[in-house]
Amino acid sequence: MIAVVTDSTCDLHPDTARAFGLHVVPLHVLLGGRSFLDWQDLDPDAVYDHQRGGGDVTTQPASQAAFEDLYRELLATHDGIVSIHLSAHLSATAEHARQAALALKAGDRVQVVDSGLASLGLAETVIAARETVQAGGDLQAALKTVRTLQAELLAEFTMPSLEYLRRGGRLSRTQEVLGNMLGMRPVLRFEEGRLRAVRRVRASGALRDILGQLEAQFGRDPVAVTIGHAGRDPGRIAELKTAMKASNLNVARGRVQLLGPVIGAHVGPGTYGLLARPYAG
């Protein structure tokens, strides 16, 4: 038996993660002078409401102790663990996982993977690893699935407001004002583990632009797609689903998920992302 572990920045609701058979270690969200466990103690919309009111939100990585506790429990009942986490360029979480495995002297039984991703990409990676294990794959098969998906998937994000990037130090106040005046927004994707602005587009055309990138990469090949949105906005989510269905993508499987408290703390309400990856059935 192989256990699949990840962290809460996969942005799978705890009930969804349990249904997939995943084990999730939460990061921490600091809001209003209190510390909350990501997704467990705090709903994503509480973060967005706090941000809209002008409040600041910060985050902290999952602790080494939390990983040690979970690994110790799982190693008592499983042959091995594949532990897949958000990019090490964004958080010390993956490093804390590695330190936990070393502290337990787990050897090859615990394989810690820096996915180089977060949110939608991390979720799709851990789901695929779990499906490999459920189909009878061993630890090496799960690792191969992760490496393949890291190379094959494409996920891009954009946001309606530049305010939260500026608050997080990723934009200057001048850049924020200029971007808002011109109606331009960055399109972001992960490259070599870093979240980079790969294009700047008109806000009104960002959705069509991102869909165009997915169409160019995958053509008419069957794909699994995911839509992610920061906040429960049924109208906007329906709009994103309609645009995906009307695209030229050959959608064989689709999911919708919220961006969680930790991710939302850095990108703000209204941010959305689209992901596609090859789907073999």
* Domain count along the chain: 2
* Pair 204, 134 in one domain: no
* Pair 19, 138 in one domain: yes
Supply the range of the domain harboring residue 208.
154-278
* Pair 109, 138 in one domain: yes
pLDDT for 226-275, tens place per residue?
Answer: 999 999 999 999 999 999 999 999 999 999 999 999 999 988 899 999 99
CA distance 213 to 219: 10
* Pair 81, 187 in one domain: no
Q: Which pLDDT score, from 0 to 100, does residue 116 have?
A: 96
pLDDT bracket for residue 195 (50, 70, 90)? confident
CA distance 124 to 276: 9
Residue 18 lies in a domain: yes
Residue 83 lies in a domain: yes
* Pair 173, 188 in one domain: yes
Is the pLDDT higher at 95 or at 173?
Answer: 95
Per DSSP, what are the bridge partners of residue 5? 23, 83
Among 237, 252, 13, which residue's Cα sits nearest to residue 119?
Answer: 13
* Pair 101, 23 in one domain: yes
Residue 41 lies in a domain: no
Is the pLDDT higher at 133 or at 179?
Answer: 133
Domain boundary (151, 176, 202) is at: 151
Residue 33 lies in a domain: no
Domain boundary (98, 121, 151) is at: 151
Dihedral Cα 225, 236, 243, 221, nearest 10 deg: 0
Among 67, 101, 97, 72, which residue's Cα sits nearest to residue 85?
Answer: 97
* Pair 200, 120 in one domain: no
Q: Which pLDDT score, from 0 to 100, does residue 160 have?
A: 76
CA distance 6 to 10: 7
Q: Which pLDDT score, from 0 to 100, does residue 243 have?
A: 97
Residue 200 lies in a domain: yes
* Pair 140, 228 in one domain: no
* Pair 106, 137 in one domain: yes
Task: Please tell me which of 51-65, 156-170, 209-223 the model is most confident about, judged by mean pLDDT.
Answer: 209-223
* Pair 11, 133 in one domain: yes
pLDDT for 151-171, tens place per residue?
Answer: 999 999 998 766 665 555 444
Residue 38 lies in a domain: no
Average pLDDT score over residue span 116-137: 97
Residue 36 lies in a domain: no
Domain boundary (151, 184, 202) is at: 151
For residue 265, the domain's CATH number is 3.30.1180.10
Locate 158 and state its tokens: 């954009």
Average pLDDT score over residue span 122-132: 97
Average pLDDT score over residue span 198-227: 94
Residue 52 lies in a domain: no
* Pair 213, 198 in one domain: yes
Per DSSP, what are the bridge partners of residue 201? 185
pLDDT for 173-194, tens place per residue?
Answer: 444 444 454 567 888 899 899 8
* Pair 230, 96 in one domain: no
Average pLDDT score over residue span 128-138: 96
CA distance 74 to 24: 12
pTM: 0.92
